[in-house]
Amino acid sequence: MKKEGKVLFKDSLDGKMDLSKYIIEAKGLVPIPYLITEPALGGFGGALAALYFSPKKRPLGYKGYIPPDITAGFAMYTANNSWAGGLIRIGSFPEIGVKYRIGGAYADINLNFYHESDIVGTKELEFNIKSTPLLLSFSKKILNKDLYLGLQYLYADNTLKPNFNESLPSFITSKEMNGRMSTLGTFLEYDNTNTIFTPNKGVKINLLYSVDENWTGSDYSFQEIHGYFNWFLPIKSNWVSGLHLDFQQVYGDAPFYLKPFVVLKGIPTARYQGNSVYVVETEQRFDINYRWSIVGFGGLGKTIDENQNFSTGTTVYNYGTGFRYFLARAFNLRAGLDIAKGPDSWGYYVVFGHSWNR
């Protein structure tokens, strides 16, 4: 039995550690201890995720990649006393061209937000945010292609408490400190990447329009457009080039903590916010051998506030490097560690799959 257990975690191709057989044959519940390195959450913490993979059978005549269904539970705690726990299910019915996501969580997060002022410069404000988010997403393949049309609903009761003694700044209203989000959105998604984990080739495009209004059950009134583009191109057999473009725009009266922010490794969460946010990033992966790879990446982010234009907005950057291990060949899943430099700080990140996964 012990011998069989060892074989279960080895690849028959090269004899190296690999989770593919465990996931497929044992229908494994994979426990993943995870190091949280997000600077905005104290720079250090831990999480335990339990992932259950359910590989899908290919319907007769079906062409293309079919991802496994994934059921996951997680719990986390970080150095600045932030904690959260939740469940999510990501699945599909390929025979009828349907994908879905459903998830719920409770979060008690301590997070810094930043406000620029001509008088005092950059002011850092820490808030405790208690939230109970619930996500429902459903999409249907259209035009018999890799194109999906979907609906998404996000609900959350959010309660904010300042972790500072002075009064609230003038740009924050009392209504923003305790409110209900009820966001209804519709999206188009095109995805012909070869895996949902660590793609080697293909394109993924997503365009979402969402609304928070009284008629959706929200305490707020704003709309958001969010689009992203991921492109993976194999330059050589051991070199995969990736390009990521991201755009977010809010209209109306969005609470300060829900405004878009630059998402780049090396830049703390919510450090650079605006009514409009643009991001471009590239990642180059070089496979040293069958199992090990090195990556290099770099990007630019741009934030534009309500009274700014593109030329007067804030521009930030990142760059860094890391490594990957080919953890599950059958799923094209790689995992590793990145170190990144932003304009104000360094950060290091555990990567499971790909940094651009959403």
Q: DSSP letter at 186?
A: E
- Burial of residue 170 (CB within 10 Å: 0-12, 13-18, 19+) is exposed
Q: DSSP letter at 163?
A: S
Q: Provide the residue type at 358 as one letter.
A: R
Residue-level pLDDT at 174: 82
| 187: Cα within 13 Å, side-chain hemisphere | 25
Let me know how many helices (H) and strands (E) the chain has, helices first. Answer: 2, 17
Which pair of structure tokens corresponds to residue 75? 């719990």
CB 296 within 8 A of CB 304: no
**Helix or strand holding residue 7 (H, E):** helix 2-8
Residue-level pLDDT at 110: 95
Count other C-beta atoms under 10 Å from residue 225's C-beta.
Answer: 16
Residue-level pLDDT at 224: 98
Residue-level pLDDT at 27: 64
Using left for φ > 0, alpha for ψ between -120 and 50, and beta otherwise, residue 171 falls in: alpha
pLDDT tens for each residue of the chain, 358 residues long: 345 556 778 887 888 899 888 877 766 678 888 888 888 888 889 999 998 888 888 887 777 788 889 999 999 999 999 999 999 999 999 989 999 999 999 999 999 888 776 555 577 889 999 999 999 999 999 987 789 999 999 999 999 999 988 888 877 888 889 999 999 999 999 999 999 999 999 999 999 999 999 999 999 999 999 999 999 999 999 999 999 999 999 999 999 999 999 999 999 999 999 999 999 999 999 999 999 999 999 999 999 988 788 888 899 999 999 999 999 998 999 999 999 999 988 888 989 999 998 7
Strand, helix or coil at 21?
A: helix
Which pair of structure tokens corresponds to residue 8? 């279960």
Calpha distance 298→147 (Å, rounded): 29
Calpha distance 211→251 (Å, rounded): 10
Residue-level pLDDT at 238: 96
CB 209 within 8 A of CB 224: yes
The sign of the torsion formed by the CA atoms of 122, 250, 358, 232 equals negative
pTM for this predicted structure: 0.90
Q: Which of 66, 69, 64 is nearest to 91 (CA)?
A: 69
CB 302 within 8 A of CB 280: no
Using left for φ > 0, alpha for ψ between -120 and 50, and beta otherwise, residue 34 falls in: beta
Q: Provide the residue type at 329 as one letter.
A: R
Calpha distance 7→26 (Å, rounded): 12
State the alpha helices, DSSP H only, in 80-223: none
CB 61 within 8 A of CB 46: no
CB 74 within 8 A of CB 89: no
